[in-house]
Amino acid sequence: MSGGEAVRLPCPRAWAELLRLPALCTVPGDALAGAAALTAHPNRRTLLALASSLCLYEAGMALNDWADRTEDAVERPHRPLPSGRIRPAAAFTAACAFTATGLALAARAGRPALTVAVLLAATVWSYDLALKRTPAGPFAMTAARGLDLLLGAAATAGHLRPALPSAALLGTHTLAVTTVSRHETRDGTPAAPLAALAMTGTLTWLLTRRPPRRGSPSHRQSALSTSLTAALSATYAATTTHPYVHATLNPSPPLTQRAVGAGIRATIPLQAALAARSGATTTALLLTALAPVARKLARRVSVT
């Protein structure tokens, strides 16, 4: 190395931007909501699924920017790859490493969890490399989020059926947010945020309907679960309503990006509401503690 050549050191902020660290707060609730649909008590395998989920999510974030590096050079030159703060090869290597680690953790949680994790990883890679800009893109992202919740159920108890309704509700929310996000770098139409607003209202109503109960909880437990579900459902709706309305009235990139950010943050109260709806009130309360952390981090690093 010549004397005038500087050594490029890794930039923590650049990696925080690449991996969307504030959005990482929305991931633990997937596995925990999946476990809550089967049992109110997460176990060691649930934690393995949660760790696997975090790794596969970050694999998707790194791969997303690697696949978008040419487009970002025009539309978002400040992003870590086009700005030169992170090399494309490093981002791709990180995506591969996160994927391998996520699958290894899922394997330790059992064969059912590994099966779901393989499907999840395949969906993530397919979305980033092939489906993102096609009409199938939002549905691939929907499938990924639903599979992430089912990963928690598969790891916790080895079966999925009781968790399918929760996966469908979470997936529907993801479909709405992903559809809106397709217009966040250019002027769009009111259709996407208006549809997302309608989906939010429908999901809020479905969340507060009385779900099938596991066993026979006491009247006090049932009342607590019902009240907490209603409160968290209202929080979910309140998080997204105003940004979606503003993006509907003025679908400009800044307001659309704000709506997408709100939709991502709203995932946390939605996951908590799903857990409370299943009777896992402690899990629901723990998940709500992630919301202020996500808001604080989002002030420093963009979630989109």
> What percent of the chain lies above the pLDDT cut of 90?
77
Q: What is the per-residue pLDDT across 102-156, written as a single tens digit (0 to 9) for each?
A: 999 999 999 999 999 999 999 999 999 999 989 999 999 999 999 999 999 999 9
| pLDDT at position 248 | 95
Cα–Cα–Cα angle for 17, 119, 298, rounded to 5 degrees: 20
**Amino acid sitting at position 298:** A
| pLDDT at position 138 | 94
| pLDDT at position 221 | 56
Is residue 143 within 8 A of residue 19, CB to CB? The reply is no
pTM confidence score: 0.91
Is residue 56 within 8 A of residue 120, CB to CB? The reply is yes
Q: What is the per-residue pLDDT across 48-90, written as a single tens digit (0 to 9) for each?
A: 999 999 999 999 999 999 999 999 999 889 999 999 999 999 9
Tell me which of 96-110, 232-246, 283-297 is least confident.
283-297
Please state whether 50 falls in left (phi above 0), alpha (psi between -120 and 50) or beta: alpha
| pLDDT at position 5 | 42
| pLDDT at position 186 | 76
Using the predicted structure, report yes or no on whether residue 201 has a pLDDT greater than 90: yes
| pLDDT at position 216 | 44
| pLDDT at position 40 | 62
